[in-house]
Amino acid sequence: MTSIAVLGATGNLGGELARQITDRGWDLSVLVRSPDKLCPRIAAAARVTVADINTVPAVELSRFAQAHDALVCCAGQVTHGASFVALFDRVVSAMEAIAPELRPVCWFLAGAAMLDLDARGRRGVELPKVRDTYWPHRVDFERLQRSNLDWRLLCPGPMVDQPAIGIERLRISCDTLPAPLPDFARFLPTPLLLPLFASRIPQMIIPYADAANLMLANLGRDGAMPGKRVGIALPVGMRGSKSQWAAKPVKPR
């Protein structure tokens, strides 16, 4: 039986992951600070460890995840800045401390700003205003690059609580923006990429359900995703609305 350890299971994405893992009949372990925030069905089905990820001894965090097929880390918020970087490093270090034969495949979470915008390798996180908030994702990615873990980094746009579209319909990319910028973008100075990048965000507003499904469908140690930043976008001609909590078709432009 596939076994998954989840950090951040009381959040929106982590909760959706836990539900999908349970629905598949897989073995689920969660580490949460507030078990009362787990939905009853997940609490009944999962192996629950009560601890604060920020203070739990590293050896216990390693013990929590070892011998699972995969660890999915949805814990923390990028807006917390340096404390989010510290949390991310704490989790990576704990996974590195696990004996290689017991280490899980690791899925981590970043954002679309970490994807390459053009062939020059420029990223959204380098753009004015974007970097002010999302710089921790850059630091976290650099931490992963120094690691010998079997990792992959999901880089979605905003996520919404709505029915799944189906990952077979979505545009999925490795390292590059799944909703590409026009070819002329490579000639622009970096600051002028900001409006083009912003124009692609509605195409990358996806359901939590699809983000969770994408990670759970790609737990193998082979394939195209190990060591990659993974982007995900709506089908061509669709744009999501964060304010309306819906993805709706529009005429392609």
Mean pLDDT confidence for 15-38: 97
pLDDT band for position 245 (cuts 50, 70, 90) = very low
pLDDT band for position 1 (cuts 50, 70, 90) = confident
- Tens of pLDDT along 59-96? 999 999 999 999 999 999 999 999 999 999 999 999 99
Mean pLDDT confidence for 11-23: 97
Mean pLDDT of the chain: 94
pLDDT band for position 183 (cuts 50, 70, 90) = very high
Mean pLDDT confidence for 144-172: 97
Provide the residue type at 164 as one letter.
A
The whole-angstrom separation of Cα 215 and Cα 146 is 22
Coil vs helix vs strand at 12:
helix
Give Cβ neighbours of residue 105 (< 8 Å, ≥ 6 apart): 69, 70, 71, 150, 151, 152, 219, 220, 221, 226
Coil vs helix vs strand at 240:
strand
**Which ranges of the chain would DSSP assign to H, the alpha helix?**
12-23, 40-45, 58-65, 82-96, 130-145, 194-200, 208-216
Indicate the domain borders of the chain. Answer: 1-109, 113-123+158-253
pLDDT band for position 241 (cuts 50, 70, 90) = confident
Which H/E stretch holds residue 230? strand 229-233
CATH of the domain spanning 1-109, picked from 3.30.420.10, 3.30.450.20, 3.50.50.60, 3.40.50.720:
3.40.50.720
Of the ranges 39-43, 89-93, 112-116, 240-244, which one carries the lowest mean pLDDT score? 240-244
Residue 45 class from Cβ within 10 Å (0-12 exposed, 13-18 middle, 19+ buried)? Answer: buried
Helix axes 82-96, 58-65, angle to 10 degrees: 60
Smallest CA-to-CA distance from 13 within 160, 175, 218 is with 160
This prediction's pTM: 0.93
Mean pLDDT confidence for 49-53: 97
The pairing of beta strand 151-155 with beta strand 159-160: unpaired
